[in-house]
Amino acid sequence: MDSDDLRKSLERLRAELGRTASVDAESRESLRRLSVDIDRLVGEPPSQDSPSHRPRLRELEVKFEVEHPALAQTVRELMDALGKAGL
């Protein structure tokens, strides 16, 4: 998977978040921070020092599963894209 595919996954997450009005402020802020971090990583080669975003994404996926299943699915897609990109 190339960085364009990863960017598209991230854009889908942003779009889904924009359509979901009832997400709490803490989750919205966590997703915003992840988005910024992932944007930064897309342009850099993976390294030993690259932070793992999987735990934070997994936590958000579980949190959204019941009330926001579409958003949870988009988070899963992003986790998959990050894995395929080696991040």
Q: What is the pLDDT of residue 68?
A: 83
Q: What is the pLDDT of residue 80?
A: 84
Domain assignments of the chain as residue spans, ordered by start: 3-42+52-84
- 8 A C-beta contact, residue 77 and residue 60: no
Closest C-alpha to 10, from 47, 53, 45: 53
**pLDDT digit string, tens, across residues 1-42:** 466 777 787 788 778 777 777 778 887 787 777 777 777 776
Q: What is the pLDDT of residue 48?
A: 55
Q: Residue 63, SS3? A: helix
Burial level of 75, CB count in 10 A (0-12/13-18/19+)? buried
Q: What is the pLDDT of residue 49?
A: 55
Closest C-alpha to 3, from 84, 72, 58: 84
Higher-confidence position of 11 and 87: 11
Q: What is the pLDDT of residue 78?
A: 81
**pLDDT digit string, tens, across residues 46-81:** 555 555 677 877 888 888 888 888 888 888 888 887
Phi, psi of 41 (to 5 degrees): -70, -30
